[in-house]
Structure 1
Amino acid sequence: MFTWAQRKLVTAFFLSLLLGTLTWEDPVLAAERILYIPLDDRPVNLAYTVDTFKKAGIDVVTPPTELLSSSSHKGDPDALGKWLQEEGPFAEAAVVAADSLIYGGLTTSRTHELSEAVLNERVNVLLDFKARHADIPLYAFATIMRSPKWSSAPQEPQYYAQWGPKLFLWGALRDKKDMGPLSRKEEKELGALQKEIPLSIQNDLLQRRQKNAAVLARLYDAAEAGTFDYFLIARDDSAPYSEAHFDARRLLQDRKKSYTIRSFSGTDEMGMILLTRAYYKARGLTPIVYGFYAPGAGKDTVPDYEDGTIAHSYKEHVWALGGYPAKRAKRADLVAGIYTPQDGVTRGADQAANTDVVTSGITAFLDQSEAFLRAGYAVGIADIAFGNGSSRGLVKGLFERRLPHSAEPMAYDLASYAGWNTASNSLGYTLGQGLMARQMTSQKRKELLTVRYLDDWAYEALVRQHLRAEYTYPNKWQEGKFTPKEKEILHTALQKEMKETAFPYLGQRVDGYTYDLPWNRTFEVSVVKKTLK
């Protein structure tokens, strides 16, 4: 039985024969039609991800944006389920963020007041899709409720505004105790937290986590039964000791090992990862990836917001996108350079340690990257030395170098680059965009690189701090709730600062984009290419 895309390809083939237009140099290949339900409408989940595959000639179809979670409204799970069923017969594959279909989005997965009965009904919608469309590969991912270290309301229940750090420590100590005995000091600290944190808050948080765990268990059972062609359990903002780590251990214990079910740190890159998997699996290909690290702690680095080493995360991401993590670079489809901090401690990109100095460690890392480029390899760089933004010294080094006979800096010889948010976020984008770059023109690949340098380096590592220091902090403007006047002031300042900051490296490319704060907060930026009028 042919799938929709296969029928489309056969039709195009015979039509081309009739018209006499089929040639080996310009084969007729129908673009796959992949359904994609993202976590929400943030650029990293929606626009940037979809644009990557569009540039590679893949038709990624997404729901109407009004159905997705945004800064102004919750997602509509029931409407999303209906959309998925209606579009199913016309798809080659489907990539689904289960949190959107069940809770309405990532944020509402933490703040909802839904009953277990409603959650079970929505799980059934996803399972029913596969029952109705058995011939369509279904790639799904769901998140373990995160364990933030900070007071992050309204992205969490409101009590996090007061109790966030103490709730994290309470969960970390409980997780550690579940794995072995605590020290006397830790036992005393845990006891004090048990008494200090109101019982109503403890119960509410544990009930929320229990609901999330129950949903994940049902999805895991379905994955083991073959409902999903691949199922990822994302560990959003975790730590070696945390509630998220505790939930992951409990979910995975006593489960049989499966090559179609995986769980590791990360979240917002999962759409990119599974769409890449869908692309390569449709062709029966297994991309080979070789990874190397910067001098120092390298592969043993445990990044902030994560509960394992970067080496473990790297391998898990490669497996998840359908690839093979090779021990040697020979025949690699992508060489992934992972820029880790010398001491293995990932700091914030807004900290004083993030300077424009091209250190000896950066030089050694760039030397190795350049050697692979000179040897003809496709090279992607995951810039993870700092969280929530690029290493300024590394980006400076990339733009200062130029390969022989190259018209542009080495920064534009890369297959991919990413240095945003968490280490796994950057890793997933580096791998996904790096492997899809093989299917793009040089110009389209460079456009993806430009967006990453503008977002990860110019905005996250530099401009964001300026906006906060000059406007939001001194004026006490509330993140996520900027007034129209505040938004206008920030928008004007954003255009000016992005151009002034990025021009020395990116030149006239900067003028080809507009910039916005899509979620009415300074945490993320939207980099949008201007359209010709």
Structure 2
Amino acid sequence: MKKYLPLCLLVGLISLTALWHFSLKSAPVAEKAVPAVQYEKNILLIPLDGRPPCRQFVIDAAAIAGIKVQTPPTELQDYYSAPGDTAGMRSWLKENLAANQAAIISIDQLLYGGLLAAREQEAPEDKQQALINYLRELHQKYPDIPLLTFSILPRQTPQDTIDGYQERKDLLAYSRLKGRQAMGLSVDETELARLQSAIPAASLQKYLAHFAENTALNQKLIALVQEGVLSRLVLGQDDGEPYSIPNIEKEKIRQLLADKNISPDKVCLTHGADEIALTMLAAYTNNLTGWQPRIYTAYNHPRTPEKIMPYMAISMADTAREKIQLIGGQPVAAPDTADFILYLSANDYEQDTVSGRSQACQYISAQLQAHRQLALVDLSKHFTAQETILPLLLDSNTPLNELTAYAGWNTASNSIGTAAASASLYCAAIRQAATLDAAAAITQANIKFLHNRMLEDYFYLKADIDMVNHSLQKAGYHNTADLDLEHNWRWANNMLQNSMQKHLAAYKHAPAIQAPAAFSTPAGNFTLSLRDLQVELSYPWPRTFEIYLESTPYLTTTVP
């Protein structure tokens, strides 16, 4: 005799089976490709030069905020030691400004043709005045479009046209002693007199005239701010040291600003160069909405705040304060009151700070688990992987896509400015996202910038650059800062691409990168998963110092 299940039980089982089957089949439906970010504003950028940090970083980070950046055509732009077309650049700017809501303008590009050209060329009074007249005319033609300008103080390294190893060495020593003397510190007067006698008079005059010329230019630019021609002026310091002639000139400008009672919102001094356009972009977006991001600064070690990193004139803490002020941020005393945490790591094996990296990783993981926004600045005193935090985060499977920002390239001012600016752009955009799709698109643009920075700042600058340089040098190419476009530059590109693609193959499959990233936003909660990551890369200039790197993350979003 066959036994049958009661009808009610049978119907219940069928219903449960159908529900289970439907759930299995329906789960992937909730997962979809992330839409592209929608551009809502246009900004024109005259970059400091054609290198990616000065141009491409701004374009990619602006996408996070839904801003499309328009830059000059390649034929007008500088290329390594070849200056840009300043006359063509000015014409292009005047012709294209009307289609944009604001312009971020490098004075060095308009006057000299880029940063490298500014280090070597002279700008006498008539050349400076022609630029001042042009800026007035530009403002008169477009009075409602803000002109956000920046100019770089000369670095203390002598111009390349001042030749001779000993001569250049003596000039640097002279600059450092004069800097100490200006600060009221005791110096060896005998040594100072010896250096002044040893340096050829023509070389010393040319060296000092470079700084005097720049000070005269900056005085004219400050006057334009007072007239209302320029909406803002940022004066950066390239490759600074604690004591130098550039610091003397900077102090003159600082005193001028104090005497004229000019607000830092109008004219400010900062350390750094390459990152200034990006920080000005963040400041502009914050100013539009009147938002002041609340920023809590944390450090990997008790000695880090006062640490002065290579090519810097001030400490990590002072650099952070500068960059927070520059983007219009507000320092806060606790992480739970902050819009984002700016975490500064500056490891140095000579001072035994490396042993604390595990605790730093634990802190970062805890903040991410608490769904706090965190921008990581991962610096190394000796530019080595062993002093950075990222490899430990990878090994501990920390969900790196949840980081708000990452930077660890070159100087502390570059990295802190880049991380603070990109984090500010993301936090500003995500708080205004009206829909989940918009929030996911903004986050995807941020993750793209995040991977760009991790791949270049860690994998290239802490590993591959040495490999490429050593390979070139072993083959007899000793000047890696001036490669032959027809021979070793192509070989260097091949080495770069092969090595970085190997890194990418392991990196994109690492659990720390594959882990679904959870986001809680005003528009709602969602999870992003990385399905693939592709990279384009090359040397933009015939040298190995920097690379062009553009990642394309393929992400899917899931809504709970």
CA contact (8 A) 2:361 2:393 kept: yes
Query: How far does the alpha carbon of each residue in 1:210-255 deviate from its partner, in whole angstroms, 9 at most, with x for none?
Result: 1111111111222244333222110111111012111101222243
2:71 counterpart (57, 62, 67): 62
1:419 aligns with 2:408: yes
2:296 counterpart (272, 290, 300): 290
2:97 counterpart (67, 70, 88): 88
The one-letter amino acid paired with 1:259 is P
1:71 counterpart (50, 73, 80): 80
Of residues 456-465 and 282-291 in structure 1, the stretch that sits farther from structure 2 once superposed is 282-291
Distance in 1 of aligned mates of 2:76 and 2:107? 14
Q: Call closer, same or farther: CA 1:245–1:387 in 2, change over 3 Å.
A: farther
Q: Call closer, same or farther: CA 1:54–1:515 in 2, change over 3 Å.
A: same
2:172 counterpart (168, 174, 178): 168
The residue matched to 1:450 in structure 2 has which SS? helix
Query: 1:304 matched to which residue of 2?
Result: 310
1:47 aligns with 2:56: yes
Q: Call closer, same or farther: CA 1:160–1:451 in 2, change over 3 Å.
A: farther
Q: Give the C-alpha shift of residue 429 in structure 1.
A: 0.9
Distance in 1 of aligned mates of 2:385 and 2:232? 31
Larger radius of gyration: 2
The residue matched to 1:484 in structure 2 has which SS? coil
Q: Call closer, same or farther: CA 1:305–1:87 in 2, change over 3 Å.
A: same
Query: 1:519 matched to which residue of 2?
Result: 541
The one-letter amino acid paired with 1:384 is L
Q: Give the C-alpha shift of residue 343 in structure 1.
A: 8.4
1:116 aligns with 2:125: yes
CA contact (8 A) 2:532 2:553 kept: no
Distance in 2 of aligned mates of 1:29 and 1:284? 22
The residue matched to 1:512 in structure 2 has which SS? strand
Distance in 1 of aligned mates of 2:483 and 2:348? 39
CA contact (8 A) 1:39 1:99 kept: yes
Query: 2:264 matched to which residue of 1?
Result: 259
Q: Call closer, same or farther: CA 1:40–1:137 in 2, change over 3 Å.
A: same
The one-letter amino acid paired with 1:445 is N
Distance in 1 of aligned mates of 2:349 and 2:483? 38
Q: Give the C-alpha shift of residue 39 in structure 1.
A: 0.3
Query: 2:17 matched to which residue of 1?
Result: none
Q: Call closer, same or farther: CA 1:230–1:254 in 2, change over 3 Å.
A: closer
Query: 1:313 matched to which residue of 2?
Result: 319
The one-letter amino acid paired with 2:244 is S
Q: Call closer, same or farther: CA 1:504–1:461 in 2, change over 3 Å.
A: same
CA contact (8 A) 2:379 2:388 kept: no
Distance in 1 of aligned mates of 2:165 and 2:62? 38
The runs of 5 or more residues in structure 2 that have no matched partner are 1-34, 430-440, 511-530, 555-560
The runs of 5 or more residues in structure 1 that have no matched partner are 1-25, 346-352, 403-408
More strand, by proportion: 2
The residue matched to 2:336 in structure 1 has which SS? coil
Distance in 2 of aligned mates of 1:519 and 1:195? 39
Q: Give the C-alpha shift of residue 341 in structure 1.
A: 3.1
1:381 counterpart (367, 376, 381): 376
1:458 aligns with 2:459: yes
Query: How far does the alpha carbon of each residue in 1:267-301 deviate from its partner, in whole angstroms, 9 at most, with x for none?
Result: 10001101111122222222221111111312111
1:493 counterpart (492, 495, 508): 495
The one-letter amino acid paired with 2:217 is V
CA contact (8 A) 1:305 1:422 kept: yes
Query: 1:395 matched to which residue of 2?
Result: 390
Query: 2:278 matched to which residue of 1?
Result: 272
Query: 1:434 matched to which residue of 2?
Result: 423
Q: Call closer, same or farther: CA 1:497–1:31 in 2, change over 3 Å.
A: same
The one-letter amino acid paired with 1:117 is D
Q: Call closer, same or farther: CA 1:393–1:525 in 2, change over 3 Å.
A: same
Q: Give the C-alpha shift of residue 59 in structure 1.
A: 1.4
Q: Call closer, same or farther: CA 1:245–1:519 in 2, change over 3 Å.
A: same
CA contact (8 A) 1:130 1:227 kept: yes
Query: 1:470 matched to which residue of 2?
Result: 471
Distance in 1 of aligned mates of 2:46 and 2:348? 38
Distance in 2 of aligned mates of 1:506 and 1:139? 38
Q: Which has the higher contact order (CA 8 A, sep 6+)?
A: 2
CA contact (8 A) 2:62 2:425 kept: yes
Query: 1:362 matched to which residue of 2?
Result: 357
Query: 2:366 matched to which residue of 1?
Result: 371
Query: How far does the alpha carbon of each residue in 1:371-424 deviate from its partner, in whole angstroms, 9 at most, with x for none?
Result: 22222211111123336676654111121233xxxxxx4332201100001001
Query: 1:333 matched to which residue of 2?
Result: 339
Q: Give the C-alpha shift of residue 502 in structure 1.
A: 4.7
Identity of aligned residues (%): 25
Of residues 430-439 and 99-108 in structure 1, the stretch that sits farther from structure 2 once superposed is 430-439
CA contact (8 A) 1:297 1:344 kept: no
- Structure 1 vs Structure 2 CA RMSD: 2.7
- Pairs aligned (count): 482
Q: TM-score scaled to structure 2, two decimals? A: 0.80
Distance in 1 of aligned mates of 2:382 and 2:83? 28
Query: 2:32 matched to which residue of 1?
Result: none
Query: 1:142 matched to which residue of 2?
Result: 151
